């Protein structure tokens, strides 16, 4: 029977609950346990799919087509366990399902209330599909005291009563701030946070204390005394040099041992952390470095491209080099070619990521042209592939007005709205004026690669499966003109209708992909395209 670990946060947001949850799962996994992680998001959106990246960071997409919170990316990268639709739920999704049931008459005339109906729906979600697991880690979004998170707090309180003390553990992450003027760490915010949590009927079993300075033993003892937890269950969590150092750091601080003790389980022998040690050895002892320019639309918020950032780091790990990422706002690129060149010339490779909307598109197209003409390694992802095709159409195929219908009506729709495509279940259809949420081509789809292509060599296969999230596609009717001008369509959907990959054989490294390979990259298993892209950047660095 699966044991449940409920992870809550207090004092302030952005303390790293998701990273802590992922690290704890990795530690339990390293001890031989089977784990799965889930995220409860209290906001009223059904999912983050229609939210701006500036609001909520990137949207992480699962194989089964769910648009989810970016923390699920941490979960996958740290454990290698593929996330599913059932691993992320929001208040919006919970209320949507309850209202649908009420409209059908499923409640048989009962008054629908937060307790028991909303809390029962949350508990139903938490306990679904867990039969083959040892531990289910459930992270509650937000912080204690948020109005919108109260139904989730009540649901996990009830779950302890339902499942029993030996099947549940509450881990609470708080902040222990350092007051520079006083030269002291202050435990009072943690005490207040735990008091608020216990007022909801939840007594934490383990406290994780984020702090900038080491937590003295007397302060640990004070926290333990006031918060009613054993001293060994007060875990200091200091800043780490890399997120991939966090699992080992939490183990050294005793997190996994404290959790296992709360379940009455043995915490010896120690977990096997050799792969994390190897990752850190490569990060801390690089044999060189490269600079990658990411020309994007949401560069003002690092979390907007979280998986992309990590995939580039993974490519560096694979090549034993440090990857310096230079974030470039595509919208600020001027028409002046000399100014564009001044920003791009110092780079060893250029990447244009996914995005939506016209803003910054001309700067992205200018970046593609620079990479093509200067023979700098170029990687286009989703919109980045579409911009590569539009640039090629305009500047090599003689289609001067080439554009995309995403930006408005055009006489040369090199990129257009995809209205139907094949799935494993059959034909999917979409209308231009339909709902935005959950209506894109989402999730894992197969692709077929040309046997003599660059990408087939990189993958070592002609059959691939990658995760998609897009509403527009390169128009296959422009394939002959683009191929005549030097761009090869080296990857297609199995039915040959949808372009998946383009490349330029006459270029050192020029690849555009319609999917999002960054979503499947892991530190111990870097995605082959990122591994190859960074290798090309290393080669370019020796030419500069």
CB 340 within 8 A of CB 374: no
Helix/strand number for the chain, H first, E second: 18, 25
Catalytic residue among 139, 406, 518, 527: 518
Active site residue 516: yes
Bond preceding residue 315 cis, omega within 30 of 0: no
Start-to-end CA span in the chain (Å): 58
Looking at the structure, do residues 360 and 509 belong to the same domain, yes or no? yes
pLDDT at 52: 75
Active site residue 382: yes
Distance between CA atoms of residues 350 and 371, nearest Å = 7
Q: State how beta strands 322-329 and 289-296 pair.
A: parallel
CB 85 within 8 A of CB 62: yes
Looking at the structure, do residues 430 and 532 belong to the same domain, yes or no? yes
Looking at the structure, do residues 31 and 105 belong to the same domain, yes or no? yes
Looking at the structure, do residues 275 and 352 belong to the same domain, yes or no? no
CB 200 within 8 A of CB 35: no
- Which token pair is 468? 């998609």
Distance between CA atoms of residues 533 and 312, nearest Å = 9
Would you give the DSSP letter of residue 525? B
Looking at the structure, do residues 330 and 208 belong to the same domain, yes or no? no
Of the candidates 357, 400, 380, the one whose C-alpha atom is nearest the C-alpha of residue 487 is 380
Please identify, among 235, 254, 279, the residue that sits at the C-terminal boundary of a domain: 279
Average pLDDT of adjacent 10-residue blocks, the chain of 544 residues: 94 89 97 96 84 79 91 95 93 93 90 94 93 95 92 96 95 93 89 95 96 92 94 94 95 96 90 95 96 89 90 97 94 73 92 82 91 96 94 93 88 81 57 58 93 95 94 92 95 93 96 96 97 96 74
Distance between CA atoms of residues 349 and 8, nearest Å = 40
Looking at the structure, do residues 275 and 295 belong to the same domain, yes or no? no
Catalytic residue among 74, 348, 516, 527: 516
Distance between CA atoms of residues 472 and 36, nearest Å = 33
Determine the 3-state secondary structure of 437 from DSSP. coil
Please identify, among 279, 304, 324, the residue that sits at the C-terminal boundary of a domain: 279
Looking at the structure, do residues 181 and 141 belong to the same domain, yes or no? yes
pLDDT at 45: 87
Q: Which residue has the tokens 């919170």?
A: 69
Distance between CA atoms of residues 279 and 368, nearest Å = 32
Phi, psi for residue 31 in degrees, rounded to 5: -95, 0
Please identify, among 279, 311, 337, the residue that sits at the C-terminal boundary of a domain: 279
Looking at the structure, do residues 393 and 438 belong to the same domain, yes or no? yes
Catalytic residue among 310, 382, 412, 470: 382
Looking at the structure, do residues 234 and 301 belong to the same domain, yes or no? no
> In which domain, by residue range, is 344 found?
286-541
Looking at the structure, do residues 34 and 92 belong to the same domain, yes or no? yes
Single pTM value for the model: 0.92
Looking at the structure, do residues 271 and 327 belong to the same domain, yes or no? no
Would you give the DSSP letter of residue 117? I
Would you give the DSSP letter of residue 522? B
- Which token pair is 535? 């290798």
Distance between CA atoms of residues 86 and 122, nearest Å = 12
Distance between CA atoms of residues 439 and 436, nearest Å = 6
CATH assignment at residue 351: 3.40.50.880
Number of domains in the chain: 2
CATH assignment at residue 27: 3.40.50.300
Distance between CA atoms of residues 329 and 528, nearest Å = 27
Contact residues for 365 (Cβ-Cβ < 8 A; gap 6+): 387, 390, 391, 394
């Amino acid at each position: 029977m699966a044991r449940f670990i409920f992870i809550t946060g207090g004092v302030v947001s952005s303390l790293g609950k998701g990273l802590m949850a992922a690290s704890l799962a990795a530690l339990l996994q390293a001890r031989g346990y089977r784990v799965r992680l889930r995220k409860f998001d209290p906001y009223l959106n059904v999912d983050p799919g229609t939210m701006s990246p500036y609001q909520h960071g990137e949207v992480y997409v699962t194989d089964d087509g769910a648009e989810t919170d970016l923390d699920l990316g941490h979960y996958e990268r740290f454990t290698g366990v593929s996330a599913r639709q059932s691993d992320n739920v929001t208040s919006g999704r919970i209320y949507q399902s309850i209202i649908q049931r009420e409209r059908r008459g499923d409640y048989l005339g009962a008054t629908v209330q937060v307790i028991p109906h909303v809390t029962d729906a949350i508990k139903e979600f938490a306990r679904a599909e867990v039969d083959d697991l040892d531990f289910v880690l459930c992270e509650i979004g937000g912080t204690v005291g948020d109005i919108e998170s109260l139904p989730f707090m009540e649901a996990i309180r009830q779950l302890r009563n339902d499942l029993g003390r030996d099947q549940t553990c509450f881990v609470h992450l708080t902040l222990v701030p350092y007051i520079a003027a006083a030269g002291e760490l202050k435990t009072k915010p943690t005490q207040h946070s735990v008091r608020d949590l216990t007022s909801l009927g939840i007594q934490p079993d383990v406290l994780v204390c984020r702090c900038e300075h080491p937590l003295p033993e007397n302060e640990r003892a004070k926290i333990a005394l006031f918060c009613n937890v054993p001293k060994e269950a007060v875990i200091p969590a200091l800043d780490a040099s890399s997120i991939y150092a966090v699992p080992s750091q939490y183990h050294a601080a005793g997190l996994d041992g404290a959790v296992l003790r709360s379940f009455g389980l043995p915490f010896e022998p120690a977990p096997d952390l050799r792969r994390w040690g190897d990752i850190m050895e490569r990060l801390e002892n690089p044999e060189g470095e490269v600079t990658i320019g990411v020309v994007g639309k949401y560069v003002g918020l690092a979390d907007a491209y979280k998986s992309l950032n990590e995939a580039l780091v993974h490519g560096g790990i694979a090549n034993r080099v440090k990857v310096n990422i230079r974030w470039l706002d595509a919208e600020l690129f001027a028409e002046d070619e000399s100014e564009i060149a001044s920003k791009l010339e110092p780079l060893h490779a250029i990447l244009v990521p996914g995005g939506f909307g016209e803003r910054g598109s001309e700067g992205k197209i200018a970046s593609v042209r620079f990479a093509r003409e200067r023979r700098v390694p170029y990687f286009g992802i989703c919109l980045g592939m579409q911009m590569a095709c539009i640039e090629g159409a305009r500047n090599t195929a003689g289609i001067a007005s080439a554009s995309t219908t995403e930006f408005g009506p055009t006489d040369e729709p090199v990129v257009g709205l995809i209205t139907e495509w094949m799935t494993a279940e059959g034909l999917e259809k979409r209308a231009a004026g339909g709902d935005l949420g959950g209506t894109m081509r989402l999730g894992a789809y197969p692709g077929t690669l040309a046997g003599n292509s660059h990408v087939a060599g990189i993958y070592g296969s002609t059959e691939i499966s990658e995760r998609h999230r897009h509403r527009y596609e390169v128009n296959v009717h422009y394939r002959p003109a683009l191929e005549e001008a030097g761009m090869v369509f080296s990857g297609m959907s199995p039915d040959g209708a949808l372009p998946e990959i383009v490349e330029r054989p006459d270029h050192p490294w020029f690849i555009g992909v319609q999917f999002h390979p960054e979503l499947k990259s892991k530190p111990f298993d870097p995605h082959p395209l990122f591994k190859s892209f960074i290798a090309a950047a290393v080669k370019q660095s020796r030419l500069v």
